Chain A
Amino acid sequence: MVEVSSTLLFIAFIAYLVATFLFGGAVKSSSSKASKSYERWGKLAITVTIIGFLSNIGYFITRWIAAGHAPVSNLFEFTTAFGMLVVGAFILIYFIYRITALGLFALPIAIIIIGYASMFPKEITPLIPALKSYWLTVHVITAALGEAILAISAVAGLIYLLKNIDMTKKSKQRFWIEAVMYVVVLVLGFIVATTSFTLAGYKAEFNYVNKEEQVLTMEYHMPPIFGMNESEAITENRMQPLMEMPPLVNAKKLTVVTWSVIFGTILYILLRLILRKRIAAVLQPFTKKANSQFMDEIGYRSVLIGFPVFTLGALIFAMIWAHEAWSRFWGWDPKEVWALITWLFYAAFLHLRLSKGWEGKKSAWLALIGFIIIMFNLVAVNLIIAGLHSYA
């Protein structure tokens, strides 16, 4: 069952890759007069996407059966489910608006999210006592669904910005949209770095002294740029850390981040050298066919649809469960706080849009920032700010 599950996930991953190229074909061919061929590409693309999505759901169900609990209990499982739901939300919005350009950008984001997820330990973990509740299924899936729908608004915003920012003139907006592209490449850098060192089988163990002055062992899977506090190598013939960190800093995580930035930056520079253009400028032609007003509308509607779902899953269900498991419905745990921040942010978004008329570029930027907050809560709060939610 476990193997079937992983195979289905792999099939879904490949299907999304193929569908991305098909959407690319659909968007490209539209510039020519042959609108029939455009439709054919588009249909093929969405068909492959749906096949991938079904396979992805197959992964989810088989893993659920194998584990005996909904596969949303660790970082790998949650992030994969999030990627899956982004595709699901895209399919939903696609059938409302029939915009192919949306697929060209939504699918790569789902692919990167699933790719990122698979960098974490993939084995099935049994549930710790705090997670043993049907609220795990209800709370996590609803919250992830809400976040996925909100993510579609960011995709629409991204397309809107790529289309409407003048790439020929220097401007703040041109700089920041390229910065967003750079961050996306950094995530790729993380995936490339992790995969390379895993394939190379890198492992090195160190003893170190933690902030409570206990001696512990830490296993590195990447060459240590930064060493833990008072670290001593256990594994022989391995590189020594270039710099030692104070006990407060988790040097292993810092090393991973640094390698990701190094790989990502090299990747970015290579891309720029090959393409000889800003990445945003390379993507711009793909957004030509997208109607700006439609994109603005999709961005807004997906926030309208996603916001109530997010509230229900990430705040209301979360509070009910927190009261059952931790005896209080709210405890200012970092993950809780960041869910509240996300909620407040989208509340501000809606007020600005409804009352202050923030549409178009302003609204698109806000949608993008909202997605960054969601990803921050997923990535940084889990990995850096440890709290009650750090199960990974």
Chain B
Amino acid sequence: MDKIVCTCGNVNPAGTLLCESCGRPLNKETADKKLVDMRYEGSARRSQTYNKTIIDKVWNFFSSVKVGVWLIVLILVAASIGTILPQVFYVPATTEEDIAAYYERIYGTFGTLYYKLGLSDLYSSWWFQGLIGMLGISLIIASLDRVIPLYKSLKKQKTKRHFSFLKRQRIYGIGNIENGEESISKAEEKLKTMRYNVKREGNALLAERGRFSRWGPYINHLGLILFLFGVMLRALPGFYVDETMWLREGETLYIPKTDGYFLESKEFIYETYSKEESEEVFGDAIDRVGTIAKNYQTNVVLHKGPEGAVAGHLEDLTFEKEAAIQVNKPLKFDNFSVFQMDFRLDELASMTFQLQDKETAESFGEFTINLADPKPVYELSDDAKVEILDYYADFTGFEDGVPQSQSPLPNNPAFLVKMYTPEFPKGETSFVMIKETLEPLGENQHKLAFQSVETRDVSGLTVRKDLTLPILMLGGLIFMIGVAQGSYWNHRRIWIQQLEDGQVVVAAHTNKNWLSIKRDMDAVSEVANLPKYEDQQDEDSKAEKEEGV
């Protein structure tokens, strides 16, 4: 398409509606309207100009506000559907089968349907992410489609505008004024005191303020695009770590995904509010609710291993720092944070047994089994020992005569042992459980008598690294700046001009808050003699009412 040359001589890009320089309408359609559409200054938007190739069509689709609003509404509705039932990540099950069973057991047929339709993991579904992606594309294209021509147009605007532009402004007035030029000069002075940026060109005046608010929408969109970009970066390796670790008191473990860091738990602390400490203020609440948690805390020591250290090798650790990890107070090092997320109190740590004669209760010695790491043999004396043949940490029962353990956690430890005594140098076999003993190969003369147990607390910690956070923060900040810029300021322009026939014209435009610009006009009219203005849009609506439209 060709460029459009205006009568004033300015060369406008194809598709321009109002001459960038003087404001003359450039086609019949625009000229036929009583008011000009000032939203994008009548500039040449790509989407309104070209519609031939596929690229044009895609561009036009995504640049449409209507499409954008539809995408917002679709995302909104989809997001709300995801809150009807808990999402999978809040469900206490890990395997697909368990999850399906959970939805069916708790929520019945509806739950099954919800699960089968994939609504239970809606936010990571391809279609939901697709909608967000489309919204992102829409943000980019719709902004580019508008901001570039708008910028050019506002930059090129001349102080002196053509009459045909002025008379199509919503706020407009014309009349014969004595000493027109003097009035314009007075208005100029007044407008300057009102913090307008005033330009004068002979008998033409343009007062402008707050143009930067026009960039608000594009800046906030830029912030959102940056934010979405940051979220996408998480998919790249190295940017994002999300691991959990269970750390027992006294234990030292490699912190997953870190560069050779190890964490040692000194102590887990769980505190509740007591009535004594704050009877007067909190007493009623504690009475009603029962116990209220006050603190979850893991006292830890951070160690650094030698170069290339991996899990399981605890030698040569160097002390880094001591810290107390609390909820809301994670441990931070490098780019990692370790959060207090969960805990288990009183997990079995070790069990102490005595090998004794069933009848006489004569003891052959005591030994303690570390449940996290049982030894194969416990030597009690020269001729007495206990051999651990097999260990079932979380014993659930026998299946076809074979003992089963459902997890490696020592929730219900059981041992298959062989007891060696002077009388039985070949050993007696026994299956030892809490509170019970089985003798699978016939009756024994000796037994392991349970003596005592030690427990310890376990801290559930989350290990997190998120290098995208600065990008997200920046995106959020830019969004806020843009939104504030566009919401709390507005772009006002007032044109005053004396025509060749001597009449004075006033016109004004603002992108929002018309009450204020009218107030400004009134303030100027108080000092300068100017023709009365009218709000031409208001008249339109009046006329519409009269016609019954």
The chain A residues found within 8 Å of chain B, CB to CB, are 2, 66-68, 121, 123-126, 128-130, 132-133, 135, 211, 246, 248, 293, 297, 300-301, 304-305, 307-308, 311-312, 316, 319, 323-329, 331-332, 334, 337-338, 340-341, 344-345, 347-348, 351-352, 354-356, 381, 385, 387
Contact = CB atoms under 8 A, between A and B. Distances in A.
A324 B285 contact: no
B479 interface: yes
B123 A129 contact: no
A361 to B, nearest CB: 13
Interface stretch (B49-57, B78-86, B405-413, B434-442): B78-86
Interface in B74-109: 75-76, 79-80, 82-84, 86-87, 89-90, 105-108
B292 A125 contact: yes
A363 B153 CA distance: 30
Nearest to B487: A304
Contact of A381 (B83, B284, B337, B466): B83
Given A129-B326, A316-B476, A344 B281 contact: no
Nearest to B110: A248
Contact of A123 (B65, B284, B341, B483): B284
Contacts of A133: 328
Contact of B273 (A126, A130, A326, A381): A126
Nearest to B280: A2
Contacts of A211: 105-106
A101 B242 CA distance: 54
B278 interface: yes
Interface string B308-335: 0000000000000000001110100000
B83 A126 contact: no
B236 interface: no
Interface stretch (B6-14, B293-301, B354-362): B293-301
B117 interface: no
A329 B298 CA distance: 22
Nearest to A96: B515
A280 B382 CA distance: 97
B113 interface: no
9 contacts: A125-B285, A132-B328, A135-B328, A304-B487, A311-B479, A316-B476, A327-B337, A327-B462, A348-B73
Contact of B278 (A126, A128, A325): A126
Contact of B293 (A129, A319, A347): A129
A308 B479 CA distance: 9
Contact of A308 (B89, B487, B515): B487
A125 B273 CA distance: 10
B285 A124 contact: yes
A355 B142 CA distance: 12
Contact of B65 (A128, A323, A351): A351
A319 B468 CA distance: 13
A248 B464 contact: no
A236 to B, nearest CB: 23
A130 B281 contact: no
A311 B480 contact: yes
A208 to B, nearest CB: 15
Given A132-B327, A332-B82, A356-B65, A323 B469 contact: yes
Given A248-B106, A327-B462, A129 B327 contact: yes
Contact of B75 (A338, A344, A381): A344
Contacts of A324: 328, 330
Nearest to A345: B76
B464 A128 contact: no
B513 interface: yes
A331 B462 CA distance: 14
A293 to B, nearest CB: 8
A351 B469 CA distance: 28
A337 B296 contact: no
A262 B72 CA distance: 37
Most buried by B among A124, A130, A135, A338: A124
A385 B107 CA distance: 14
Given A128-B293, A248-B107, A327 B278 contact: no
Given A332-B89, A348-B76, 6 more contacts: A124-B285, A125-B285, A126-B273, A341-B76, A356-B66, A385-B84
